[in-house]
A and B are shown apart, each in its own frame.
Chain A
Amino acid sequence: MAGLNPVQLARFLNAITFVKTFVVQWTVRWELKDCKFKSRTGHFYKTRYVFSSPAHGITRLLWCYFVLQADHPADSQVKKYKQLKALHGVDGKPCSTESTNIVNTFSQSLLVANGGLGNGVQREELQQLFFVHGKVTSIAMPPRKPYAFVCFQEIKDAETAIALINGTVLTRPTEMSTENITLYLSFLKEVPKENLQSNDNLPPGLVLVKDFIDAEMEDMLLRNIDWNEEMLSEAGNVAPKTLKHRQVKHYGYEFRYDNNNVDKDKPLHDGIPAALRKIIDDIMATQNIQHGPNQITVNQYQPGQGIPPHIDTHSAFEGEIISLSLGSNVIMDFKHPNGQHIPVLVPQRSLLVMTGESRYLWTHGITPRKHDVAPADTDTGLTLTKRTLRTSFTFRAIRHAPCDCDFPAQCDSQQKEMKEKERLLPKSDDQASALEAEHVHKVYETIATHFSDTRHSQWPKVTKFINQLPNGSIFADIGCGNGKYLGINTSIFQIGCDRSSNLVEICRQRDYEAFTCDALSVPIRDNSCDAVISIAVIHHLSTQNRIKSKYLKESKHEMSGDLGENLHHRKLTAHGDDPVAVVAKNSIGNKTKEGHDACLCKSIEPDECCIGGGENSSSCQKNSKDDSQIQNDTQSAKDNEQTNRARRAEPIKDSIYSSNTLSVHVNRTAFAKQDLLVPWHLKSKNGKRNNIGEENASSKDQSVAENVCTKTVFHRFYHVYKEGELESLCQECSGVRIVEGYYDEGNWCVIIKKE
């Protein structure tokens, strides 16, 4: 014993004590060969903690001794590994708190890895195992976790428990088809507090009234629901529905799962039954409620059914969502957007009132399962309870004005308002670039592949223009998209650029030379190109001001960078092109004066027509048929022009209802205005919406996702040009001459030449 310090000595003595206990226990067990053994208190353990031989027992004894006493590296590694493995258990997430909390010194608290609700261990099983070894102060079983915490009053009892219970195998009946569970124990510094969520901790605004009605009333209400009765609405028959996960019925108004809202002007014919009106009176009497409910949804959940997390549509209902639970307890999961999760036990016959944050900000849902983790009756811990048939009555008041809650990110009313604001015509350059970033750049980046798949046909005049370029010309396409004009003439050097890197990548994959840049700042040196085209670009620039000022400014800038007298010889490319969107233009380099210097400007419109439809890509040619329509359009555009100009000059009002909002174009109709958002229907395989709806998000997802959500709609900003508009823009640019302006394939084009 020489050389041991007092602490070590104490540990050693401690260990000896426990070894004695162990030997005794082991002897007892050894005499009971049937894998069950009788404990000191006379209980029979159902465990199969059995040694195959005395040697096995001694090995285990030594193992326990070394791990506890000496922190043997190899052993503790094995132990730690098993503990960690067990901690990863059911939900697959490592539990850093618990694993770092593990200590190799003695303490009252034990971690029981593999012994949690998450892997099907019941509180009673742990009680049986641990109570025999001393006074247990608490057994904490965090929900859905494959581990539990057991605290003893005395450290020595914890030691005994860890020595005897570690490695215990809990047998599982074969019909459950789950494997037997081996428990791994270790000492903990302390039990993590956050694992012991109690029901006192409710999301802000949530009120739970226990025993709101008595059993008699509950019975009466349940009997009165006629699931087969047909409810008549103004709109016609409404039968109770069996949604994918539950049965529902509506009173007052029908809740529509397709848009998660109600038809506020179409109340159901039969109104609210008297029994429920009585309940509403009782609810109002609690004085928690400001708006009298006039819509009731009845949901019936079989054990194992649930409802996905959702927030009831803000614009549909007032600020109180009230739920009366009948038939069964259930755990409702409340989740904050920041990830905070509070499971709330909603007892049978209780009234749950969601107001404020809990109604507007937190999602609530019921996980589909047959058992819930619920507070045990005896103490503050948790245990499993079995669900039975549960019926919930949700009472809500229809909202008639837009919602103005404090949670705009969750609020459909305010989101809608913001979207409308976003669609205001830009009044400053910042707003213009924001609009273009959102409704041009971002959209093309997203739809690049689909867009490219629909862009094959070339405009014949543009093709002709490219084909007549002489051998050895340098040719650039500003806003080249998928590069459909880059492979036409193989005897020239062709280079493209686009704002969308995804489109440029497509060009590269088609073996075209291309780079990424903005058409308002083209990084090509002056006088380097013989011809430049810029097709279907200018219509994406949102203000005339932007086109002109950028155009002119850019020109001037170029000039200063160049020799003054050479100004006119400089390559137009950089500036000329930029602005001229739908334009194909070419300019001559100064040295080759003979070149074609034309800039082909096309102003666009209808190209979009076909573009918009997405699937009708093939019908690009149809544009021509739109000629007449375009003419009309042009007319109407002219009419608009005056107001338009006036509008642009005026400061724009902030009102969302002002006429300055951008309207969304309906594909294959005439353009209603010059400035529009043209929809692009992106087809995608997994176009699932991430939706927040009312109690039925799931079923809606089911049905709607298949029909509607396979397409996502993006809106692209367009300025629709009218006759002469493009030319007049080009005239404002000094140093260029318009060679030709024409109308082709529904697009305005201008060919300009550097002078």
Chain B
Amino acid sequence: MFLTVFRRMKLLTHNMLTSHVKGVTNGYPLNIEAKDVRVQEVDFNPEFIARMIPKMEYEVLVQAAQSVGHLGNLPPELVTDYENNDEFLKEAHRVMMMVEVVEGSLVCPESGRKFPISNGIPNMLLNEDEV
């Protein structure tokens, strides 16, 4: 039987998402309440990861990995010269690209508003009174 494993919310995506609920001044980073987390193999592209790292909020990435229990050996501080540190890049690749949240919620740090993640898709839609 042919099985397709669909993509779910990666921690890299989480790193980009913020809460825009009305009245919230700092909706970033969103807390993750994960019910189902999976790790899915993705091809490792060191150059891609190295370029991605400076665009990430590294601290947030570490926190997120921790909160879903997949921190592994990712160092809490960004190492210097990470471009050439293959071991670090692999860890970063694992956390950013392979750890995926299937079910759970993203929680606005300020308002506590929960954005459900269902079937790997975060639903960031706001109600009328929230915009």
Residues of A that sit less than 8 Å from B by CB: 433, 470-474, 476, 491, 493, 495, 497, 499, 501, 504-505, 508-509, 511-518, 520-525, 528-530, 560-561, 574, 589, 591-592
Contacts and interface: CB of A to CB of B under 8 A. Distances in A.
Contact of B18 (A513, A518, A525): A525
B54 A474 contact: no
A515 B122 contact: yes
B110 to A, nearest CB: 11
Given A513-B7, A561-B25, A528 B120 contact: no
Give 4 nearest A-B pairs by CB, closest first.
Answer: A472-B51, A517-B124, A525-B18, A515-B122
A528 B56 CA distance: 8
B126 interface: yes
A505 B119 contact: yes
A508 B124 contact: no
A101 B73 CA distance: 70
Nearest to B118: A501
A501 B12 contact: no
Interface string B5-20: 0111110110111111
Contacts of A512: 7
B48 A516 contact: no
Interface residues of B, number: 38
Contact of B125 (A491, A499, A560): A499
B123 interface: yes
Contact of A515 (B9, B48, B126): B9
Contacts of B52: 472, 474, 493
Given A495-B16, A515-B9, A525-B28, 15 more contacts: A472-B50, A472-B55, A476-B16, A499-B125, A508-B6, A509-B4, A513-B9, A515-B17, A515-B124, A518-B126, A523-B18, A525-B16, A525-B18, A528-B55, A591-B54
Contacts of B9: 513, 515
B55 A513 contact: no
A515 B14 CA distance: 11
Nearest to A574: B20
A516 B55 contact: no
Nearest to A474: B55
A655 to B, nearest CB: 28
Interface string B73-105: 000000000000000000000000000000000
Given A474-B55, A591-B54, A524 B18 contact: yes
A473 B9 CA distance: 18
A516 B18 contact: no
Interface string B21-42: 0000111100000000000000
B68 interface: no
A306 B128 CA distance: 48
Nearest to B17: A523
Contact of B12 (A493, A518, A523, A530): A493
Contacts of A516: 121-125
B1 interface: no
A270 B9 CA distance: 73
B47 A471 contact: yes
B121 A528 contact: no
A164 B57 CA distance: 86
Contacts of B17: 515, 523-525
Contacts of B16: 474, 476, 495, 524-525, 528-529
Contacts of A522: 20
A523 B111 CA distance: 15
17 contacts: A472-B50, A472-B55, A505-B119, A511-B6, A511-B7, A515-B9, A515-B13, A516-B125, A522-B20, A523-B17, A523-B115, A524-B18, A525-B28, A528-B55, A529-B16, A561-B25, A561-B26
Contacts of A521: 20, 126, 131
A523 B19 contact: yes
A513 B6 CA distance: 9
Contact of B119 (A491, A493, A508): A508
Nearest to B116: A516
B55 A508 contact: no
A505 B8 CA distance: 11
A515 B7 CA distance: 11
A471 B55 CA distance: 13
Contact of B131 (A514, A520, A591): A520
A529 B15 CA distance: 11
A591 B28 CA distance: 19
Contacts of B126: 518, 521
A504 B117 CA distance: 13
Contacts of B8: 508
A471 B51 contact: yes
A561 to B, nearest CB: 6
Contacts of B19: 523
A505 B121 contact: yes
Nearest to A470: B51
B125 to A, nearest CB: 6
The listed residue with most A CB atoms (<10 A of its CB), out of B8, B18, B126, is B18
Contact of A591 (B6, B48, B55, B123): B55
A476 B25 CA distance: 23
A471 B12 CA distance: 16
Nearest to B27: A523
A334 B108 CA distance: 54
Contacts of A528: 15-16, 55
B48 to A, nearest CB: 5
Nearest to B18: A525
A589 B55 contact: yes
Contacts of A592: 55
Contacts of B125: 499, 516-518
B23 to A, nearest CB: 11
Contacts of B51: 470-473
A591 B19 CA distance: 22
Contacts of A513: 7, 9-10, 13
Nearest to B16: A528
A567 to B, nearest CB: 16
Contacts of A517: 123-125
Nearest to B50: A472
Contacts of B57: 525
Contacts of A525: 16-18, 28, 57
A528 B28 CA distance: 12
B26 A523 contact: no
Given A525-B17, A561-B26, A501 B123 contact: yes
The listed residue with most A CB atoms (<10 A of its CB), out of B6, B16, B28, is B16
A589 B7 CA distance: 26
A611 B60 CA distance: 42
Given A508-B6, A508-B7, A513-B13, A491 B48 contact: yes
Contacts of B47: 471-472
Contacts of B20: 521-523, 574
The listed residue with most B CB atoms (<10 A of its CB), out of A501, A509, A528, A560, is A528
Contacts of A589: 55
A461 B103 CA distance: 37
A577 to B, nearest CB: 13
A523 B54 contact: no
A427 B1 CA distance: 55
A499 B126 CA distance: 11
A523 B20 CA distance: 6
Contacts of A508: 6-8, 119-121
Nearest to A430: B128
Contacts of A530: 55
A518 B51 CA distance: 29
Contact of B128 (A433, A491, A511): A433
